Amino acid sequence: MEQPVFESVHYPAVCQECGAQLECCGVQALVDGRLRWDVESTCSACGFAVAVCGGDLPSERREQMLCEHGPAKLQVISPPANSVVIMRLLRAELGIDLVNAKAVLRRVLNGGHLGTLPEMELLARKLRASGIAAVATRS
């Protein structure tokens, strides 16, 4: 079993019980072959606590994560002569059409496809499972 990969961010929010400002900790994790977004927060004013698990990463938190941790990139080691397997996987995983898959493929092969570390590691693992040597690295 492969190790989980995760990154976290902290951000302020308003307590839904008392209205005070509280600190949230959000974590994007790659666990058991799936990406998940978990958030925990506790209000120091009233003690209200909440944990929300398994959601989608909000775009503003993704941007915060990229700014704080820096982007990771997907690197294909020794690209195959025929890139059909890579394009098929990109289409399936990213939910994109053929035209966009070709553009993403170019970025992947040129080392320019960036994202959070868990996002890039998910794609790297899927590629490795398809017989293509790939890694997720920090830019």
pLDDT at 21 (0 to 100): 95
Residue range 22-50, pLDDT digits in tens? 999 999 999 999 999 999 999 999 999 99
In order of 16, 102, 125, the CA distances from 99 in angstroms are: 44, 5, 23
Q: Which of 49, 47, 30 is nearest to 93 (CA)?
A: 30
Q: Indicate the helix (H) or strand (E) that contains 37.
A: strand 34-42
Amino acid at 137: T
pLDDT higher than 80, residue 1: no
Residue range 83-131, pLDDT digits in tens? 999 999 999 999 999 999 999 999 999 989 999 999 999 999 999 999 9
Q: Is 120 exposed, middle or buried (0-12, 13-18, 19+ CB in 10 A)?
A: buried
Reported confidence tier of residue 2, pLDDT bands at 50, 70, 90: confident
Query: What residue spans of 1-139 are helical by DSSP H?
Result: 59-69, 84-94, 98-109, 117-129
Residue range 69-96, pLDDT digits in tens? 999 999 999 888 789 999 999 999 999 9
Give the residue-averaged pLDDT of 14-20.
96
Reported confidence tier of residue 136, pLDDT bands at 50, 70, 90: very high
Sign of CA dihedral 1, 88, 120, 72: positive
pLDDT at 55 (0 to 100): 87
pLDDT at 139 (0 to 100): 63
pLDDT at 82 (0 to 100): 82
Contacts with 4 (C-beta within 8 Å, 6 or more apart), sequence order: 29, 30, 31
User: How many Å apart are CA 87 and CA 50, to the nearest integer?
Assistant: 40
Domain boundaries, the chain: 5-69, 72-138
